[in-house]
Structure 1
Amino acid sequence: MRPETEAELAEMIAGATGPLHIRGGGTRSIGRAISGEVLETGGLSGITLYEPGSLTLVAKAGTPLAEIEAALDAEGQRLAFEPMDYRGLLGTRGEPTIGGVVAANVSGPRRIQAGACRDFLLGVRFVDGAGQVVKNGGRVMKNVTGYDLVKLMAGSWGTLGVLTEVSLKVLPTPEAAASILIDGLDDAEAVKVMARALGSPFEINGAAHVPIGLDDTPVTMLRIEGFTHSVAYRAGQLSQMFKDHAVRVESDSAKVAEGWRWVRDVAPMQDAAGDVWRISCKPSDAPGLTARLGANALLYDWGGGLIWALMPEGADARAKLGTFDGHATLIRGSEASRRALPVFQPEPAPVAALTQGIRKKFDPRGILNPGLMA
């Protein structure tokens, strides 16, 4: 099924007699396999409103992300939350859509400073499991009472409703960027360095560490963006701050962008065999947690608050981690791994009860991506 209008989508969902597999661009094959009729949103495509002066964009959910980024780039603007491209890591094809980005709350390295996708959502339109069209939010940021459906839909993976339109706040693209690269730090030292940089007044908007970089040695990466003179000044100050280490500065904008795409899309693990886990935690806990994992490869983002871990196929990262303040998600796994292990972090019983109650409210028949987040 591939509706061309919101009304067609509502009619299809209302008339559905069994489970529906909601699919946007088909680039994020995450979660339990879904048995059901495929419902594609690609027919709901197009930018319906773009006001550069108001930093506002409205697009139908099936609009390719590339189309949105091209329109923004033409006006010197961008999606500040830097959505990751999962295709290299998951080996999928197709084109990422803006609805898929919102449904999965996809955010990249800049989240640590700018915020997540959900923080830039102004409004949503969607069709719930009963076939009703629901609208929440608008084109400006404002306080709300009751359910904040805009935030609720971000990260719901199509289990509460099928998005038809999203409104987003966008931001200007800075004129310059630089990466401060520090070589040779072990994981614990790197986390301390990233914490110190993020606590400085120099507006770091990217902080990552790779134990095995492109030249097989550890590299810690700090990113700054802004006006050219400001970036040059801050790069100099950060170099001085970490003068006791092996510091390099990359100021070529194309190379800086390429390096952070490498981090954003978890390039070190794309062609490596094994399961890939995404672990969110307190940055200060990261080195201790990774010591328990015995991972084949690691990548730290968000100053250590996000860990990507390449594990042997079938290895249960949660069992190795034990109890910790955070959660672990199986992003890439074999069919056997996904059958044997919960893909998403199991919720505590009180939270699980709330989640189930919300799902029953928005999808009383349980037909939207059933079991995907089980």
Structure 2
Amino acid sequence: MDATMKPRNTGDVEKVVAWAAAEDQPLEIIGQGSKRTLGRPVQAAHVLDLSGLTGVESYEPAELVLTVKAGTPIAEVEKLVDDNGQELSFEPMDFGPLLGVTPAQGTIGGVLAANLSGPRRIKAGAARDHVLGMEAVSGRGEIFNSGGKVVKNVTGYDLPRALCGAYGTLAVATTVTLKVNPKPETSATFVLSGLDDDDGIKALCQAMGSSAEVSGAAHLPAGVNGGSSSTVLRLEGFSTSVDYRFKTLQALLGTYGTPSRLEASETGALWQTIRDVKPYAGGETPVWRLSVAPTAGPQLVASLREAFELQAYYDWSGGLVWLSCLDGSLHEAETRAAVDAVGGGHATLVRADASQRSNVPVFHPQPAPLAALSRRLKEQFDPKGILNPGKMVSGV
């Protein structure tokens, strides 16, 4: 009989996973279930629900360190640090709007399992770069700890990096320790209007190579967010510094036109829209997340426009392309071929129905040596293959 098991602590998780390993019973690992349709449909009859593992174990604002249970809603974590004048600098995106579920329902464990990072990744790094330590239960039913609770900790293997982005297929995280950072005093957005994709990305790349310390760089073609195209650059910090760096961008990018400026409140709304892929929210068309070299983005999109009708916009200075297939077809072969043609990268199918996600590789196929390494890692952490089987690769 199908069962949902809701542990209260790490010991409960250990018991459930040990039972599942002994009985060869695959488990689907969820928090609040907000990202359940990310990846392939999981091939499991039983659900391990971590939403009961909530709460802050310790928070030391002066030390910039937070330890929290994996099932804690990310919205609660962000409010806690915000109330203390701090932030999660990797700016985790909320997949709720895109996947058609209630916004702000994700957990900190789910964020790390998917290694979710927002526009600030170009400056602050990915989610995995902010994990100091982790307690988890392997697919063998064994509790292990890695890392610690200080920023300068180099003990043992950096296992959290392996677990971040593994979508719960290697181990079940129960507690995580994160590095937090002071929240900037203010923010503003430098906006250039009316640029085509090529000029927009050129402007972004010039800005990223300057001393302006940009913390967000995106290009929204005409129609993506209403009206004409917008090439936007976010500046954060002390108000005098933001003003100075805005003038630096004015001098650097003057040939692209006269910029406009969004102040803090408008800046926050705009970058949340970009982060959470809100231009494609509420729809059912397939959505791809394409990662390529920043300068290759416009060429990639232009080649795909010749094959099918699409809408796309660019984040991470052009290196991250969010693409919606407007005709409802996946166009998997064309999309991955186009990624290879511009020098390689990754094409991940983010939104599609269950049958579509079952019939194509959702994640970009790995080269044979890397795939073999991934299999060996899976065999070491989860030899029975009971954790989220099939979530990332069919049959694994």
* Change beyond 3 A, Cα 1:173–1:45: same
User: 1:61-140 maps to which residues of 2 (within 5 A)?
Assistant: 61-93=70-102, 95-140=105-150
Give the secondary structure class of the aligned counterpart of 2:62: helix
CA contact 2:339–2:345 (8 Å) conserved in 1: no
**Unmatched runs of 5 consecutive residues or more in structure 1:** none
Task: Report the equivalent of 1:23.
Answer: 30
Deviation at 1:320, TM superposition (A): 4.2
Structure 1 counterpart of 2:329, which letter? E
Match of 2:6 among 2, 17, 35: 2
Give the secondary structure class of the aligned counterpart of 2:348: strand
Match of 2:357 among 334, 338, 345: 338
Whole-Å separation in 2 of the counterparts to 1:214 and 1:32: 29
Whole-Å separation in 2 of the counterparts to 1:247 and 1:178: 16
Whole-Å separation in 1 of the counterparts to 2:10 and 2:85: 31
Q: Once structures 1 and 2 are overlaid, which stretch shifts more, 249-258 or 116-125? A: 249-258
Deviation at 1:368, TM superposition (A): 0.1
Structure 2 counterpart of 1:35, which letter? Q
Deviation at 1:240, TM superposition (A): 2.7
Give the secondary structure class of the aligned counterpart of 1:167: strand
Whole-Å separation in 1 of the counterparts to 2:156 and 2:145: 14
Whole-Å separation in 2 of the counterparts to 1:69 and 1:116: 16
Task: Report the equivalent of 1:274.
Answer: 285
2:246 pairs with 1:229: no
CA contact 2:146–2:157 (8 Å) conserved in 1: no
**What's the Cα RMSD here?**
1.5
Task: Report the equivalent of 1:365.
Answer: 384
Whole-Å separation in 1 of the counterparts to 2:215 and 2:113: 24
CA contact 1:292–1:321 (8 Å) conserved in 2: no
The C-alpha deviation readout for 1:326-374, integer Å capped at 9, x for no partner, is 1110000122321221000111111111100010100011000011101
TM score, norm. by length of structure 1: 0.97
Deviation at 1:24, TM superposition (A): 1.0
Whole-Å separation in 2 of the counterparts to 1:43 and 1:32: 25
Q: Once structures 1 and 2 are overlaid, which stretch shifts more, 302-311 or 244-253? A: 244-253
Match of 2:213 among 188, 203, 225: 203
Give the secondary structure class of the aligned counterpart of 2:175: strand
Match of 2:344 among 325, 350, 357: 325
Give the secondary structure class of the aligned counterpart of 1:220: strand
CA contact 2:67–2:175 (8 Å) conserved in 1: yes
Q: Once structures 1 and 2 are overlaid, which stretch shifts more, 206-215 or 117-126? A: 206-215
Match of 2:229 among 218, 232, 238: 218
Structure 1 counterpart of 2:14, which letter? A
Task: Report the equivalent of 1:315.
Answer: 331
Match of 1:256 among 263, 267, 270: 267
Give the secondary structure class of the aligned counterpart of 1:365: coil
CA contact 1:313–1:333 (8 Å) conserved in 2: no
Deviation at 1:313, TM superposition (A): 2.3
The C-alpha deviation readout for 1:237-261, integer Å capped at 9, x for no partner, is 2123222333333342111000000
CA contact 1:126–1:163 (8 Å) conserved in 2: yes
CA contact 2:146–2:156 (8 Å) conserved in 1: no
Whole-Å separation in 1 of the counterparts to 2:274 and 2:320: 11
Deviation at 1:129, TM superposition (A): 0.5
CA contact 2:132–2:177 (8 Å) conserved in 1: yes
Whole-Å separation in 1 of the counterparts to 2:33 and 2:178: 22
Task: Report the equivalent of 1:348.
Answer: 367
Structure 2 counterpart of 1:352, which letter? A
Give the secondary structure class of the aligned counterpart of 2:129: helix
CA contact 2:297–2:321 (8 Å) conserved in 1: yes
Whole-Å separation in 2 of the counterparts to 1:152 and 1:132: 17
User: 1:52-63 maps to which residues of 2 (within 5 A)?
Assistant: 52-63=61-72
**Unmatched runs of 5 consecutive residues or more in structure 2:** none
2:308 pairs with 1:300: no
Deviation at 1:62, TM superposition (A): 0.3
Task: Give identity over the alignment, percent.
Answer: 44
Match of 1:35 among 43, 49, 56: 43
Structure 2 counterpart of 1:33, which letter? P
Give the secondary structure class of the aligned counterpart of 1:204: coil
* Change beyond 3 A, Cα 1:273–1:5: closer
Aligned length: 374
